[in-house]
């Protein structure tokens, strides 16, 4: 591949081009593969190595920008605010979904190019499931590089289950996590074979889990492994023997650093599998939806309690819709309200929150429903869990803004044409009190 001059990152093409009309590499139906895999999707976790550096190291936004990094950070600080995009589950494994994926990517691109300063986003944080079905080299171009060819910003990512599940018999060098690392965790920015004739360079994240340190916000990213459900971030005492406990030490080190620095910005935790996914109280998982990951949440809660730092919000993907919970807890002698946001509506598919099964109508909850029953053995003192709002018919993405005082998470909706957007939902958190305030 021709490589960038002086090893500097490149994000988009010099000349914008129209959306493609077809996949470069045809993608066969999922059905046969899924039938073959059977319950491996619920059992086969994957191993991974430590991130580069020490567990409390951060990866700065300036590094992602290369030579333009210092000026970019200075401009954000001068604006007094940072704005970024986030969403998950963008990959279109079926050509019938490609239009949706392209519409989301096009809208993100238009937003990045057209928003006036200081509201212009500075990066996209992908919440995983970038390439379906399982992160194959040959599908990266159609599902990642081509849709984002005009997107002018860095794209950082944590892997989803589709970026990590290892189909039995796959050669080690073709393992999806290897391909992900090659494209997102390179030691130097370079044009990868997956980018084809496009110029977006590989990202230089230190690992599949990493902490992004940007002005006003620190994002602690966790890799929640390869299962359909649940998320897995550690061995859980030997239950998942090939999963290292590296992320427990890492999470503790990052939170301890935040504590010792008396960090005053917004603290976010991201992981692909959501701690909470709506399901009716009957206990049945919503058909077509993914379930909650209470064990992961318990581990996060436990480490947060040990250190005495709780994030201002938790962002996830995986469920193919938008769900915003507010978890009220008593932590460190304060009552806190923590948004748990699911944004898996990045283009792959949309599932109803209530689900529908065997011709039965779906059980759509009302906004503000108390779903405290979704709490399973919490390791913090929880007062209430509410499903504040959701959207399960249209695609969309998050626009997150942080200044010195507040974190603002907005879900932007694409209309049926994908040509327009609207702010469908917004939640604002006061950083000092960690409570939800008027927008």
Positions touching Fe ion (CB under 5 A) are 129, 160-161, 318
Q: How far apart are CA 313 and CA 325, in angstroms?
A: 10
**Of 70, 58, 81, 84, nearest to 153 (Cα)?**
84
Cβ 103 to Fe ion, closest distance in Å? 20
Residue of closest CB approach to Fe ion: 318
DSSP 194: G
**Of 234, 312, 236, 228, nearest to 277 (Cα)?**
228
Cβ 372 to Fe ion, closest distance in Å? 25
H or E, element range at 253: helix 246-261
H or E, element range at 427: strand 421-430
Residue nearer to Fe ion on the CB measure, 133 or 161: 161
Please tell me whether residue 146 adopts helix, strand or coil conformation.
Answer: coil
Residue nearer to Fe ion on the CB measure, 129 or 213: 129
Q: How many CB atoms lie within 10 A of CB 405?
A: 15
H or E, element range at 220: strand 217-222
Residue keyed to tokens 């010792």? 260
Cβ 161 to Fe ion, closest distance in Å? 4
CA angle 275/301/269 to nearest 5° reads 60
SS3 sequence, 149-172? Answer: CCCCCCEEECCCHHHCCCCCCCCH
Residue nearer to Fe ion on the CB measure, 62 or 277: 277
Q: How far apart are CA 403 and CA 82, in angstroms?
A: 6
Residue nearer to Fe ion on the CB measure, 156 or 195: 156
Q: How many CB atoms lie within 10 A of CB 67?
A: 11
Cβ 157 to Fe ion, closest distance in Å? 13
Residue nearer to Fe ion on the CB measure, 201 or 293: 293
Cβ 348 to Fe ion, closest distance in Å? 9
Residue nearer to Fe ion on the CB measure, 164 or 201: 164
Residue nearer to Fe ion on the CB measure, 129 or 392: 129
Cβ 412 to Fe ion, closest distance in Å? 21
Cβ 435 to Fe ion, closest distance in Å? 31
CB 345 within 8 A of CB 321: yes
């Amino acid at each position: 591949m021709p490589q960038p001059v002086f090893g500097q990152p490149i994000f988009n093409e010099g000349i914008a081009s129209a959306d493609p009309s077809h996949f470069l590499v045809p993608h066969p139906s999922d059905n046969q593969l899924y039938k073959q895999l059977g319950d491996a999707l619920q059992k086969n976790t994957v191993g991974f190595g430590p991130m580069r550096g020490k567990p409390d190291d951060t990866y700065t936004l300036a590094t992602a920008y290369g030579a333009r990094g210092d000026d970019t950070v200075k401009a954000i600080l001068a604006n007094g605010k940072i704005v970024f995009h986030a969403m998950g589950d963008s990959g279109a494994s079926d050509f019938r979904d490609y239009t949706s994926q392209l519409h989301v990517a096009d809208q993100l691109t238009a937003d990045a190019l057209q928003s006036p300063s200081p509201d212009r986003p500075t990066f996209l944080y992908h919440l995983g499931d970038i390439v379906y079905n399982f992160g194959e080299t040959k599908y990266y171009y159609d599902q990642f590089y081509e849709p984002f060819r005009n997107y002018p910003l860095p794209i950082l990512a944590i892997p989803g289950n589709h970026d990590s599940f290892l189909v039995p018999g796959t050669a080690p060098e073709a393992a999806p996590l290897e391909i992900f690392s090659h494209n997102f965790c390179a030691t130097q920015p370079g044009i990868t074979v997956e980018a084809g004739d496009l110029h977006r360079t590989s990202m230089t994240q230190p690992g599949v889990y990493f902490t992004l340190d940007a002005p006003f916000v620190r994002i602690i990213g966790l890799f929640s492994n390869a299962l359909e459900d649940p998320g897995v971030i550690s061995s859980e005492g030997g239950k998942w023997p090939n999963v290292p406990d590296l992320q427990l030490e890492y999470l503790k080190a990052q939170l301890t650093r935040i504590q010792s620095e008396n960090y005053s910005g917004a603290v976010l935790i991201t992981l692909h599998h959501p701690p909470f996914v709506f399901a009716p109280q009957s206990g049945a998982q919503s058909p077509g939806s993914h379930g909650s990951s209470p064990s992961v949440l318990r581990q996060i809660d436990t480490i947060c309690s040990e250190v005495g730092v709780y994030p201002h919000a938790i962002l996830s993907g995986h469920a193919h819709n938008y769900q915003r919970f507010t978890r009220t807890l008593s932590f460190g002698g304060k009552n806190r309200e923590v948004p748990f946001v699911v944004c898996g509506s990045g283009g792959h598919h949309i599932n109803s929150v209530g689900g529908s099964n065997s011709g039965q109508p779906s059980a759509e909850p009302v906004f503000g429903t108390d779903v405290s029953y979704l709490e399973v053995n919490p390791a913090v003192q929880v007062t209430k869990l509410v499903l504040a709002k959701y959207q399960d018919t249209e695609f969309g993405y998050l626009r997150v803004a942080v200044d010195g005082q507040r974190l603002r998470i907005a879900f932007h909706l694409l209309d049926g044409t994908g040509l327009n957007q609207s702010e469908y939902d917004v939640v604002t958190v006061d950083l000092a009190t960690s409570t939800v305030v008027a927008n």
